[in-house]
Every structure is written in structure tokens, then in C-alpha cells.
Amino acid sequence: MHPESTNEGATCWQSTWLRHSAWLRTVLTARLGDSVTVEEILQDVAVTAWQKRSQLSDPDKVGPWLYRIAIRKVQLFWRQNTKEKTRRRPEHLGCWQDEKQLDPVHWMISEEAHELVRAGLKQLNAQDREVLMLKHTENWTYRELSDHIGISVDKVIYRLSRARKRLREKLVNSQFDWKHP
């Protein structure tokens, strides 16, 4: 009997999926933004991965394999929704401080700073936004990013450096525009 046809195989898959679903959700959020669409595509990724699990030749490369499936699903989603002229972007990427603990002035300054970063992230391409979000919301190391995305550590370092530089440029430009209407 094939091991994946037993409950043991299903339990193993469930454990694997739980280990990867959170970071895949971050990837999808970086590319789609809309939480309902993210959840629908994440479910679609899970179903496709389950159906094609026999194609995974190296179990150590499940992260890059799932990443490729997720990216294909996003591409398919955008192809099917070409009537929509503007892509939905994440409106709120989360705050790192509890705003209730801040006094009103600090809260306002914090909100403005967060809004500038959100606006800068929206202007980045999906790949740059994705790698920044995985690094800074999931707190992954370069090695973890490399293992999950399926690229070398050097390429991860390069992408993060390039993405940070682009975000920094967006933030500098937006601050300049804000100060000089």
C-alpha cells in the first residue's frame, strides 16, 4: 500500500502544510493584498500540492516546490482577472507597536511613518515587496529565505539589498514630495 494513501501519509502532509502555509500566506499577501483572495489561492495551492505530491522528487525541497505552485496560482489569478485595471494591494501590512499605548502625538507620528512605508511598499514590484515582507514579518534568516524560495543565499542577499534600496528611494522621494507640495 502506498504510504500517502494511509492516514499516516495524510498526517505527514498536514504537518508539512502547517509548517509552510504561514509564509506562503505572506508571499500571497505581498502579491495580492486582498485577504479573501489570499485565502482562496492558498486553499488552491494546498489542493494542487496534495494532488501533485507524487511529483515532488526531493522532500527537502518542498518549500521551493510550494513557492512555485503559489506563484503560478497568482499568475493564473491575474490572467483570469485582466478586466481589473488596478491590482489590489495590501492596505495595511500591520503595526509593530500597540497603538493604544502611545500618546496621541506619538500615535499620529507612528501612523504617518507606517503610511509612508506602506505607500513605498505598494510602489515596489511584487518580488521586492515579497522578499522584504518575508524577511521582516516572518523574521527569516537569509538561509531560511533561500531554502523556501529556492534561490541561493547570495541571490537572497542581493534581492534584499536591491529591495531595501528601492524602498529607501521611494521613501526619500515621498518625504520630499510631502515637504514640498
> Does some domain include residue 128?
yes
- Domain carrying residue 32: 3-80
Could you tell me if 22 and 56 lie in one domain?
Answer: yes
Q: Is the pLDDT of residue 1 over 60?
A: no
Q: CA separation (Å) from 23 to 139, 169, 180? A: 10, 27, 39
Could you tell me if 42 and 107 lie in one domain?
Answer: no
Name the domain boundary from 47, 80, 113: 80
pTM of the model: 0.58
CA distance 87 to 62: 29
Could you tell me if 60 and 126 lie in one domain?
Answer: no
Could you tell me if 54 and 122 lie in one domain?
Answer: no
Which CATH number covers residue 108? 1.10.10.10
> Does some domain include residue 152?
yes
Q: Is the pLDDT of residue 143 over 80?
A: yes
Could you tell me if 13 and 59 lie in one domain?
Answer: yes
Given this model, what pLDDT does residue 180 score?
Answer: 43
139 Cβ contact list (under 8 Å, min separation 6): none
Given this model, what pLDDT does residue 160 score?
Answer: 94
pLDDT in tens, 92-118: 444 444 545 556 776 677 777 778 888
Could you tell me if 73 and 103 lie in one domain?
Answer: no
> Does some domain include residue 92?
no
Of 172 and 23, the one with more pLDDT = 23
Question: How many domains is the chain partitioned into structurally?
Answer: 2
- Mean pLDDT calculated for residue range 28-56: 89
Q: How confident is the model at residue 157 (pLDDT cuts 50, 70, 90)?
A: very high
Q: Which among 48, 82, 91, 51 has a CA at the least distance from the CA of 67?
A: 48
Which CATH number covers residue 71? 1.10.1740
Q: Is the pLDDT of residue 66 over 90?
A: yes
> Does some domain include residue 93?
no
pLDDT in tens, 11-24: 787 888 888 989 99
